[in-house]
Amino acid sequence: MVEHGHADLGDVRLHYVTAGSGFPVVLLHGWPQSWYEWRHIIPGLAERFRVIAPDLRGLGDSSRPAEGYDKKTVGGDVWRLVHDVLGVSEFHLVGHDWGGPTAYAVAAAHPDAVRRLAILDVTIPGDGSPNISQGGRRWHHAFHQTLDLPEALVAGREDIYFGWFYRNYGARPLAEEDIAEYLRVYRQPGALRAGFSYYRAIPRDVADNAAIVAQGFKLPMPVLALGGDRSWGRRMEVVESLRRLAVDVQGGVVENCGHWMPEEQPAELLRQLLAFLG
Protein backbone atom coordinates (compact mmCIF):
# COMPACT_ATOMS: atom_id res chain seq x y z
CA MET A 1 0.00 0.00 0.00
CA VAL A 2 2.71 2.49 0.98
CA GLU A 3 6.17 2.90 -0.51
CA HIS A 4 9.08 3.56 1.82
CA GLY A 5 11.88 5.97 1.00
CA HIS A 6 14.84 7.73 2.60
CA ALA A 7 16.11 11.24 1.90
CA ASP A 8 19.62 12.32 2.91
CA LEU A 9 19.37 16.02 3.77
CA GLY A 10 22.94 16.34 5.03
CA ASP A 11 22.41 16.89 8.75
CA VAL A 12 19.55 14.39 8.94
CA ARG A 13 18.29 11.36 7.01
CA LEU A 14 14.50 11.19 6.86
CA HIS A 15 12.46 8.05 6.41
CA TYR A 16 9.11 8.64 4.72
CA VAL A 17 6.24 6.78 3.09
CA THR A 18 4.19 7.74 0.05
CA ALA A 19 0.92 6.50 -1.44
CA GLY A 20 -1.57 7.48 -4.11
CA SER A 21 -1.46 10.19 -6.75
CA GLY A 22 -2.90 13.64 -7.26
CA PHE A 23 -2.45 16.88 -5.35
CA PRO A 24 -0.01 16.26 -2.46
CA VAL A 25 -1.04 15.97 1.18
CA VAL A 26 1.75 15.90 3.79
CA LEU A 27 1.02 14.21 7.14
CA LEU A 28 3.17 15.04 10.20
CA HIS A 29 3.02 12.75 13.24
CA GLY A 30 3.71 13.50 16.90
CA TRP A 31 5.33 12.02 20.02
CA PRO A 32 5.62 9.19 20.95
CA GLN A 33 4.62 7.97 17.52
CA SER A 34 5.81 7.82 13.90
CA TRP A 35 4.36 7.91 10.37
CA TYR A 36 2.57 4.70 11.41
CA GLU A 37 -0.10 6.69 13.26
CA TRP A 38 -1.59 7.59 9.84
CA ARG A 39 -1.99 3.97 8.65
CA HIS A 40 -5.82 4.08 8.82
CA ILE A 41 -6.01 7.51 7.14
CA ILE A 42 -3.59 7.00 4.26
CA PRO A 43 -5.69 4.57 2.15
CA GLY A 44 -8.71 6.89 2.03
CA LEU A 45 -6.61 9.97 1.30
CA ALA A 46 -4.61 8.10 -1.34
CA GLU A 47 -7.75 7.56 -3.41
CA ARG A 48 -7.71 11.30 -4.19
CA PHE A 49 -4.29 12.62 -3.22
CA ARG A 50 -0.57 11.90 -3.29
CA VAL A 51 0.15 11.23 0.38
CA ILE A 52 3.59 11.94 1.90
CA ALA A 53 4.17 10.96 5.54
CA PRO A 54 7.70 11.41 6.93
CA ASP A 55 9.18 10.31 10.22
CA LEU A 56 10.24 13.60 11.82
CA ARG A 57 13.86 14.30 12.74
CA GLY A 58 15.02 11.97 15.49
CA LEU A 59 11.81 9.90 15.51
CA GLY A 60 10.54 6.75 13.84
CA ASP A 61 13.15 5.38 11.44
CA SER A 62 14.70 8.77 10.67
CA SER A 63 18.20 9.60 11.95
CA ARG A 64 18.78 11.21 15.33
CA PRO A 65 20.98 14.33 15.19
CA ALA A 66 22.14 15.81 18.48
CA GLU A 67 20.46 19.16 17.77
CA GLY A 68 17.75 20.84 15.73
CA TYR A 69 14.53 19.94 17.54
CA ASP A 70 12.99 23.41 17.53
CA LYS A 71 9.98 23.24 15.25
CA LYS A 72 11.38 25.84 12.84
CA THR A 73 14.29 23.49 12.11
CA VAL A 74 12.09 20.37 12.03
CA GLY A 75 9.76 22.21 9.66
CA GLY A 76 12.77 23.05 7.52
CA ASP A 77 13.47 19.33 7.22
CA VAL A 78 9.92 18.76 6.01
CA TRP A 79 10.23 21.58 3.46
CA ARG A 80 13.53 20.24 2.13
CA LEU A 81 12.06 16.74 1.77
CA VAL A 82 8.84 17.82 0.10
CA HIS A 83 10.13 20.72 -2.01
CA ASP A 84 13.77 19.97 -2.73
CA VAL A 85 13.81 16.15 -2.84
CA LEU A 86 10.28 15.28 -4.01
CA GLY A 87 9.84 18.39 -6.17
CA VAL A 88 6.51 19.45 -4.70
CA SER A 89 5.79 23.19 -4.88
CA GLU A 90 2.28 23.28 -3.35
CA PHE A 91 0.60 20.91 -0.93
CA HIS A 92 -1.93 20.46 1.85
CA LEU A 93 -0.49 19.92 5.33
CA VAL A 94 -1.83 17.99 8.34
CA GLY A 95 -0.11 17.89 11.75
CA HIS A 96 -0.93 15.98 14.94
CA ASP A 97 0.70 16.56 18.34
CA TRP A 98 4.25 17.92 17.71
CA GLY A 99 3.49 17.59 14.03
CA GLY A 100 1.05 20.49 14.56
CA PRO A 101 3.59 23.13 15.66
CA THR A 102 5.92 21.76 12.97
CA ALA A 103 3.18 22.22 10.39
CA TYR A 104 2.59 25.75 11.66
CA ALA A 105 6.29 26.51 11.21
CA VAL A 106 6.16 25.24 7.60
CA ALA A 107 2.98 27.19 6.83
CA ALA A 108 4.33 30.41 8.36
CA ALA A 109 7.59 30.13 6.42
CA HIS A 110 5.94 29.12 3.13
CA PRO A 111 2.38 30.50 3.15
CA ASP A 112 2.16 30.45 -0.65
CA ALA A 113 3.03 26.75 -0.79
CA VAL A 114 0.65 25.41 1.88
CA ARG A 115 -2.83 25.45 0.36
CA ARG A 116 -4.74 24.16 3.38
CA LEU A 117 -3.62 23.33 6.92
CA ALA A 118 -5.15 20.95 9.47
CA ILE A 119 -4.01 20.85 13.12
CA LEU A 120 -5.05 17.92 15.32
CA ASP A 121 -5.22 17.94 19.14
CA VAL A 122 -2.38 20.34 19.86
CA THR A 123 -1.95 24.05 20.53
CA ILE A 124 0.84 26.19 19.10
CA PRO A 125 3.60 27.46 21.45
CA GLY A 126 3.85 31.25 21.40
CA ASP A 127 0.29 31.75 20.15
CA GLY A 128 -0.36 34.38 22.82
CA SER A 129 -1.92 32.03 25.37
CA PRO A 130 -0.19 31.66 28.74
CA ASN A 131 0.89 28.03 28.62
CA ILE A 132 0.66 25.05 26.23
CA SER A 133 0.97 22.72 29.24
CA GLN A 134 -2.48 23.61 30.63
CA GLY A 135 -0.97 25.20 33.71
CA GLY A 136 0.97 22.05 34.53
CA ARG A 137 -1.81 19.50 33.97
CA ARG A 138 0.33 18.07 31.19
CA TRP A 139 2.96 17.12 33.75
CA HIS A 140 5.22 15.34 31.26
CA HIS A 141 6.10 18.63 29.53
CA ALA A 142 8.20 19.78 32.50
CA PHE A 143 9.57 16.28 33.11
CA HIS A 144 10.74 15.92 29.51
CA GLN A 145 12.42 19.33 29.61
CA THR A 146 14.59 18.20 32.55
CA LEU A 147 18.02 17.43 31.15
CA ASP A 148 19.14 13.76 31.23
CA LEU A 149 16.77 12.61 33.99
CA PRO A 150 13.95 11.26 31.77
CA GLU A 151 16.42 9.24 29.69
CA ALA A 152 17.91 7.71 32.85
CA LEU A 153 14.55 6.77 34.32
CA VAL A 154 12.82 5.56 31.13
CA ALA A 155 15.64 3.58 29.44
CA GLY A 156 14.83 -0.11 29.73
CA ARG A 157 11.31 0.74 30.94
CA GLU A 158 9.93 2.11 27.68
CA ASP A 159 7.01 -0.30 27.82
CA ILE A 160 5.97 1.07 31.23
CA TYR A 161 6.46 4.77 30.50
CA PHE A 162 5.26 4.99 26.91
CA GLY A 163 2.62 2.39 27.63
CA TRP A 164 1.01 4.74 30.15
CA PHE A 165 0.42 7.29 27.38
CA TYR A 166 -0.77 4.74 24.82
CA ARG A 167 -3.26 3.30 27.31
CA ASN A 168 -4.43 6.47 29.06
CA TYR A 169 -4.21 9.42 26.66
CA GLY A 170 -7.06 8.24 24.47
CA ALA A 171 -10.72 7.51 25.06
CA ARG A 172 -9.60 3.88 24.76
CA PRO A 173 -6.16 2.22 24.78
CA LEU A 174 -4.24 1.67 21.57
CA ALA A 175 -3.99 -1.92 20.37
CA GLU A 176 -1.08 -3.93 21.74
CA GLU A 177 0.34 -4.70 18.30
CA ASP A 178 0.40 -0.98 17.50
CA ILE A 179 2.06 -0.18 20.82
CA ALA A 180 4.71 -2.76 19.90
CA GLU A 181 5.52 -0.89 16.67
CA TYR A 182 5.96 2.41 18.51
CA LEU A 183 8.11 0.74 21.18
CA ARG A 184 10.28 -0.69 18.39
CA VAL A 185 11.33 2.74 17.19
CA TYR A 186 11.52 4.44 20.59
CA ARG A 187 13.84 1.74 21.91
CA GLN A 188 16.40 2.54 19.23
CA PRO A 189 19.65 4.26 20.30
CA GLY A 190 19.13 8.00 20.73
CA ALA A 191 15.35 7.87 20.35
CA LEU A 192 14.58 8.81 23.95
CA ARG A 193 16.84 11.86 23.83
CA ALA A 194 15.46 12.94 20.46
CA GLY A 195 11.86 12.67 21.63
CA PHE A 196 12.48 14.60 24.83
CA SER A 197 14.37 17.22 22.83
CA TYR A 198 11.09 18.23 21.17
CA TYR A 199 9.98 19.40 24.64
CA ARG A 200 13.33 20.94 25.54
CA ALA A 201 12.92 23.20 22.50
CA ILE A 202 9.63 24.69 23.77
CA PRO A 203 11.19 28.00 24.94
CA ARG A 204 12.77 28.43 21.50
CA ASP A 205 9.45 27.55 19.82
CA VAL A 206 7.60 30.10 21.95
CA ALA A 207 10.12 32.81 21.05
CA ASP A 208 10.09 31.95 17.32
CA ASN A 209 6.31 31.95 17.06
CA ALA A 210 5.79 34.98 19.31
CA ALA A 211 8.10 36.90 16.97
CA ILE A 212 5.85 35.97 14.03
CA VAL A 213 2.75 37.07 15.95
CA ALA A 214 4.43 40.35 16.96
CA GLN A 215 4.92 41.19 13.29
CA GLY A 216 1.14 41.02 12.82
CA PHE A 217 1.35 37.99 10.52
CA LYS A 218 -1.55 35.56 10.36
CA LEU A 219 -1.73 32.40 8.29
CA PRO A 220 -3.66 33.22 5.11
CA MET A 221 -4.72 29.69 4.11
CA PRO A 222 -7.87 27.96 5.41
CA VAL A 223 -7.21 26.05 8.64
CA LEU A 224 -9.04 23.06 10.14
CA ALA A 225 -8.52 22.72 13.92
CA LEU A 226 -9.78 19.63 15.75
CA GLY A 227 -9.50 18.46 19.36
CA GLY A 228 -10.58 15.26 21.07
CA ASP A 229 -13.46 15.55 23.55
CA ARG A 230 -12.42 12.80 25.99
CA SER A 231 -9.53 11.91 28.28
CA TRP A 232 -6.49 14.08 27.46
CA GLY A 233 -8.03 15.51 24.28
CA ARG A 234 -7.57 19.27 23.81
CA ARG A 235 -11.24 19.95 23.03
CA MET A 236 -11.79 23.56 21.84
CA GLU A 237 -8.26 24.67 22.77
CA VAL A 238 -7.08 23.81 19.24
CA VAL A 239 -9.59 26.12 17.57
CA GLU A 240 -8.86 28.87 20.10
CA SER A 241 -5.11 28.60 19.52
CA LEU A 242 -5.33 28.70 15.73
CA ARG A 243 -7.78 31.59 15.72
CA ARG A 244 -5.02 33.67 17.30
CA LEU A 245 -2.70 32.70 14.43
CA ALA A 246 -4.83 32.45 11.28
CA VAL A 247 -7.54 34.42 9.50
CA ASP A 248 -9.78 31.53 8.39
CA VAL A 249 -10.27 28.78 10.98
CA GLN A 250 -12.97 26.13 11.17
CA GLY A 251 -13.29 23.00 13.29
CA GLY A 252 -14.25 21.97 16.81
CA VAL A 253 -14.20 18.69 18.71
CA VAL A 254 -14.21 15.07 17.56
CA GLU A 255 -16.52 13.04 19.78
CA ASN A 256 -15.57 9.85 21.60
CA CYS A 257 -11.92 10.68 20.99
CA GLY A 258 -8.94 11.42 23.18
CA HIS A 259 -5.49 12.42 21.95
CA TRP A 260 -4.83 9.67 19.37
CA MET A 261 -7.28 11.05 16.81
CA PRO A 262 -6.00 9.32 13.64
CA GLU A 263 -6.26 5.95 15.43
CA GLU A 264 -9.27 6.44 17.70
CA GLN A 265 -11.61 8.01 15.13
CA PRO A 266 -10.03 7.40 11.71
CA ALA A 267 -13.33 7.29 9.80
CA GLU A 268 -14.55 10.60 11.24
CA LEU A 269 -11.16 12.25 10.79
CA LEU A 270 -10.94 11.05 7.19
CA ARG A 271 -14.46 12.36 6.54
CA GLN A 272 -13.55 15.80 7.87
CA LEU A 273 -10.21 15.91 6.06
CA LEU A 274 -11.76 14.95 2.71
CA ALA A 275 -14.50 17.57 3.14
CA PHE A 276 -11.94 20.22 4.10
CA LEU A 277 -9.31 19.42 1.49
CA GLY A 278 -11.85 19.19 -1.30
> What is the set of active-site residues?
97, 199, 259
User: What CA–CA distance (Å, rounded) separates 190 from 195?
Assistant: 9
User: Containing H/E element for 150?
Assistant: helix 149-154
Cβ-based burial of 152 (10 A; exposed 0-12, middle 13-18, buried ≥19): exposed
H helix intervals, 47-189:
71-79, 99-109, 140-145, 149-154, 158-168, 176-186
Q: What is the DSSP letter of 173?
A: P
Q: Rounded to whole angstroms, how far apart are CA atoms 121 and 260?
A: 8
- Cβ atoms of 56 and 98 closer than 8 Å: yes
